[in-house]
Amino acid sequence: MAFDALYTTNEIQKCKVLLPYIDPSMQKHLAVYIKYMELQYTMKYVRRHPSQINGCSIPSDERPDLRSLCRQLSYYSTPEEIRQLEQLQNMLRTMETMQEMTQTMAALQEAFPDLSDVMPFGNDAAFSDTENAGTSQTGTSSIIDMMMGMLTPEQKTMYEMFRQTDPDKDSK
């Protein structure tokens, strides 16, 4: 990583390579010495370069990949933290799926404007199987059913949770 490359020297790296070959009774002393050298070098480097660390930041115009961040953090996490990171990843996947579905619905509405007369895409009734059963909306309903069928059980649960907390729904 860029951070490791900035805050170490070849001398420090050589000591790390030598560590396993040192007498076990002396390894802990060498380990402390290595950390001391890293701290000393880091403090000198920061004093000489007080600006932002180059190569260690995500460009401001680039969106951070939160799922990748979760994967990287999981290598250093406890089992409970890993479970929480996996839940966060699932939630992010669900939100991405919902965003894709929203875009698809908008594209369908744009491509087939007369469908909006039959079924308003923003209405929760569009997703209700009981309200659509036996009506003239069967073709449109099957599109919705097909899209809902693409969701995993977790994604459906997450969708229902988001749908229940929809502020527009409360005003209807």
The 10s digit of each residue's pLDDT in 57-92 is 666 667 778 888 888 888 888 999 999 989 988 888
- The domain segmentation of the chain, as residue ranges, is 2-48, 79-167
Q: pLDDT digit string (tens) for 126-169?
A: 444 444 444 444 554 555 666 667 777 777 777 777 666 545 54
Identify each DSSP E strand in 3-131 by its residue range: none
- Mean pLDDT (the chain) is 75
Q: Is the pTM of this model over 0.95?
A: no
Quote the pLDDT of residue 147: 65
Q: Answer yes or no: is pLDDT of 26 > 50.
A: yes
